Amino acid sequence: MKKLFLATTAAIVVMAAGPAGAADMALKAPRAMAPACAQFGGFYLGGHGGWGHYRHDHSDRGNLVQTIDDNLPANASQSDSNGLGGVQIGRNWQRNCTVFGIEADWSWSGLRAQETYFDGDAGTQDTLTVSSKLRWFGTVRTRAGIVVDNVLLYVTGGFAYANFNRDYTIVEDAPLTTFTFSSSNTRWGWTAGFGTEWAWSGNWSIKSEVLYMRFVGGDAGFTGTTFNTVNFGVPGRGYSFGSDDDVWVARIGLNYRWGG
């Protein structure tokens, strides 16, 4: 009987101590830590440089070129690749390793798409030369992404605006007559892309980015009343060239951040 009592008492003690021991172990277990990542919150200012590819699609909406020579194209494309550079400013909000922000930038561009078209006749030919220069552009975009260690991976999109200088030169071989129309205007479009930003040292970061910009439906209008001969259209009739513009941009930049 004595042995049975001792065994029963030992079992009760073990069972009573079990929950307390488990609770004590739970209290001593390490708490889950938030993932460590670099901070990108706050305002930032910086500069960038890169390369762009530009394509200009024009259309002869007033049928002026076809009036001169139906072998000249009424619709055609020109393209160019060149360098660019500019500045950016923005603001980021960060929660744990998730970042949301807004950025505005402005870039100078050396992009000029130009092509000369011939009517294909033997000897002297009628020609059309189309030139479109992208002088500068800018964007206003939102950014959203995640931080992995010290690198921000993001997607971006918003509005784009750009200034274009356009020249259309038509040469009629007989009689020899030249007409040049020039225009300069600023157009609005849209942009989307993706990029990375590396927290480099202190408040400094290095970014790389790819953007696509699209500008659709622009008109360069002029009136036929300025023409002195029937070779350049019908007096009093309005003529216009339509323009669509596509731009791909790849660039790298340096940012300085404060106030995060």
Residue 165 lies in a domain: yes
Q: What is the pLDDT of residue 63?
A: 75
Q: What is the CATH number of the domain that holds 83?
A: 2.40.160
Q: What is the pLDDT of residue 212?
A: 98
Number of domains in the chain: 1
Residue 195 lies in a domain: yes
Measured distance between the N- and C-terminal CA atoms of the chain, rounded to whole angstroms: 75
Tens of pLDDT, residues 172-189: 877 777 877 788 889 999
Q: What is the pLDDT of residue 129?
A: 92
d(CA 99, CA 120): 58
d(CA 192, CA 81): 19
Six-digit token string for 155: 């997607």
Q: What is the pLDDT of residue 201?
A: 86
Residue 144 lies in a domain: yes
Residue 160 lies in a domain: yes
Q: What is the pLDDT of residue 185?
A: 86
Residue 27 lies in a domain: no
Helices (H) and strands (E) in the chain, counts: 2, 8
Q: What is the pLDDT of residue 231?
A: 43
Residue 10 lies in a domain: no
Tens-digit pLDDT profile for the chain (260 aa)?
444 333 433 443 343 445 444 444 444 545 555 568 999 999 999 999 999 999 999 888 777 777 777 788 888 999 999 999 999 999 999 999 999 999 999 999 999 999 999 887 776 788 889 999 999 999 999 999 999 999 999 999 999 999 999 888 888 877 777 877 788 889 999 999 999 999 998 899 999 999 999 998 766 554 433 433 344 555 555 667 788 999 999 999 999 999 86
Phi-psi label, residue 63: left if phi above 0, alpha if psi -120 to 50, beta otherwise:
left
Residue 168 lies in a domain: yes
Closest CA to 255 of 213, 177, 192, 202: 202
**Residue 95: which domain range?**
38-258
Residue 5 lies in a domain: no
